[in-house]
Amino acid sequence: MSFRAIRILFLLTLLAAVAGMTYWESMVVRNWLRPLEVTIYPVNGDDTAEVGEYIAALKQDHFQEIGRFIAGQSERYRGKDLPPVSIRLAREIRTPPPFPPQDRHSGFSAILWSLKLRHYAFDHTPFWDSLGTVRLFVVYHQGEDGKPLQHSLGLHKGLVGVVHAFAQAKQNAQNNVVITHELFHALGASDKYDAANQPLYPEGFGDPDGPRYPQHVAEIMAGRIAVAPEVARIPAGLEACVVGYKTAWEINW
Ligand SMILES: [Zn+2]
């Protein structure tokens, strides 16, 4: 075999190994064959001292309600047999994750971004300790009141996601809603809102069996409470969210 052929064979083997490992990881995690381990990596999205101070003051405790929410919601679908969920807060990462493509519907730029994100994850997180765990990069911004942040994005085929959150203590509860939403993407769930951010009926409604409007809870993958046909509001925290039947089915509950 020529050197060129050997090199191509080597690269193909490497690609196959990475693809196989990604598939195996996702399958084990998404089928709840072992405890779910989630690691949160905070990132200073503004590169400012204020956001830095907020990150320095973050405690692992702030995120534990995510685990309790998942355990509590799963009971309605599968009793008490869900393996334990653990949420760990890792040290701050100094480099921001790659910017998602402007055109989210172009297949090529989406693939390129997913490769860049995998490479970023590989560079900034421990390799062996991360196997079989979900890694969420939470990018904190000071933000302006009433102005939405950049959209959070997860990889459909990998256990990696990028979440944009507010660096304000009063936003911690809502940040946990966004983090949980993105975590559910990593577990295989799809969005349940339309182009106008209105929850889709019935799968995006917290209580699709009751009166249609107003709803009082949000389906986690719709992310908003449907108050009226064209009005939806952001839930204050996970206590105002539920996992609907379709999301439950998508994540193998
Ligand atoms: Zn989403």
CA of 150 to the centre of ligand 1 (A): 12
> Is residue 15 a part of any domain in this protein?
no
Q: Which of 170, 188, 206 is the last residue of a domain?
A: 188
CA of 148 to the centre of ligand 1 (A): 14
Range of the domain at 136: 21-188
CA of 125 to the centre of ligand 1 (A): 23
| 132 and 246 part of one domain | no
201's CB contacts (< 8 A; 6+ apart) are 208, 212, 226
CA of 105 to the centre of ligand 1 (A): 15
Using DSSP, state whether 59 is helix, strand or coil: coil
Residue 199 pairs in a beta bridge with: 193
> Is residue 5 a part of any domain in this protein?
no
> Is residue 8 a part of any domain in this protein?
no
pLDDT of 109 over the 90 cut: no
| 83 and 203 part of one domain | no
CA of 64 to the centre of ligand 1 (A): 21
pLDDT of 104 over the 70 cut: no
| 194 and 176 part of one domain | no
Query: Among 11-15, 29-33, 163-167, 194-198, which stretch is predicted with the lowest mean pLDDT?
Result: 11-15
> Is residue 11 a part of any domain in this protein?
no
pLDDT of 218 over the 90 cut: yes
Strand stretches in 52-159, DSSP E: 85-89, 134-141, 153-154
Task: Give the C-alpha separation, 183 to 189, whole Å.
Answer: 9
Q: pLDDT per residue over 133-182, tens digit each?
A: 999 999 999 987 667 677 777 666 679 999 999 999 999 999 999 999 99
| 158 and 230 part of one domain | no
Structure tokens at 206: 């917290």
CA of 163 to the centre of ligand 1 (A): 10
Task: Give the C-alpha separation, 108 to 227, whole Å.
Answer: 38
CA of 188 to the centre of ligand 1 (A): 11
pTM of the model: 0.91
CA of 190 to the centre of ligand 1 (A): 7
CA of 222 to the centre of ligand 1 (A): 8
- By the CB criterion, residues less than 5 angstroms from ion ligand 1 are 191
Q: Which of 188, 214, 230 is the last residue of a domain?
A: 188
CA of 199 to the centre of ligand 1 (A): 12
> Is residue 3 a part of any domain in this protein?
no
Selection from 43, 40, 38 nearest residue 97 by Cα: 43
> Is residue 249 a part of any domain in this protein?
yes
Which residue do the tokens 């300790």 mark?
129
Task: Give the C-alpha separation, 206 to 226, whole Å.
Answer: 8
> Is residue 158 a part of any domain in this protein?
yes
Residue pair 55/42 in contact by the 8 Å Cβ criterion:
yes
| 184 and 63 part of one domain | yes
| 156 and 203 part of one domain | no
Number of domains in the chain: 2
CA of 182 to the centre of ligand 1 (A): 6
CA of 221 to the centre of ligand 1 (A): 6
Using DSSP, state whether 218 is helix, strand or coil: strand
| 118 and 106 part of one domain | yes
> Is residue 227 a part of any domain in this protein?
yes
CA of 40 to the centre of ligand 1 (A): 17
Q: Rounded to 5 degrees, what angle do the CA atoms 158, 176, 109 make? A: 35
| 84 and 205 part of one domain | no
CATH code of the domain containing 131: 3.40.390
| 163 and 219 part of one domain | no
| 175 and 196 part of one domain | no
Q: Which of 153, 188, 223 is the last residue of a domain?
A: 188
CA of 228 to the centre of ligand 1 (A): 21
Q: pLDDT per residue over 22-64, tens digit each?
A: 888 888 899 999 999 999 999 999 999 999 999 999 999 999 9
| 42 and 146 part of one domain | yes
Task: Give the C-alpha separation, 162 to 43, whole Å.
Answer: 10
Task: Give the C-alpha separation, 243 to 75, whole Å.
Answer: 11
| 130 and 103 part of one domain | yes
